[in-house]
């Protein structure tokens, strides 16, 4: 795999977000993240003449944002609940 492949996965993730397909966006971003993790650092500068469009940290943040969007679209929100026993 190459830097071009990583950039292609992230471009596909962005296209999926614009289409409202957050599941596909998440899958594509995770694929890009996996490729970065398995690409030697010496190659991330663009062995094939290309440079990474996103850093590993940016992709991690991107994935987190997709997950937040998906959760909010489903109406699921994480909240803390404090139960107080009415008989106390």
- The per-residue pLDDT for range 40-84, each reduced to its tens digit, is 765 555 555 677 878 888 999 999 999 988 888 776 566 778 888
Whether residue 78 is contained in a domain is answered as no
Core vs surface per residue 43-63: b (16+ CB within 10 A) or e: ebeeeeeeebebeeeebeebb
Whether residue 45 is contained in a domain is answered as yes
Whether residue 80 is contained in a domain is answered as no
Whether residue 64 is contained in a domain is answered as yes
Q: What mean pLDDT is predicted for residues 13-29?
A: 93
Burial environment of residue 29 by CB neighbours within 10 A (0 to 12, 13 to 18, 19 or more): buried
Whether residue 88 is contained in a domain is answered as no
| Domain membership of residue 62 as a residue range | 3-73
Whether residue 8 is contained in a domain is answered as yes
**DSSP state for residue 43 in the 8-state scheme:** G
Count how many domains the chain has: 1
Close Cβ partners of 21 (under 8 Å, ≥ 6 residues apart): none
């Amino acid at each position: 795999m190459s830097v071009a492949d990583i950039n292609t996965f992230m471009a596909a993730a962005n296209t999926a977000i614009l289409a409202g397909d957050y599941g596909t966006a998440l899958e594509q971003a995770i694929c890009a993240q996996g490729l970065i993790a398995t690409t030697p650092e010496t190659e991330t500068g663009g062995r094939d003449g290309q440079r990474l469009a996103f850093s590993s940290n940016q992709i991690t943040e991107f994935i987190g944002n997709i997950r937040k969007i998906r959760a909010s679209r489903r109406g699921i929100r994480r909240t803390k609940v404090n139960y107080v026993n009415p008989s106390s």
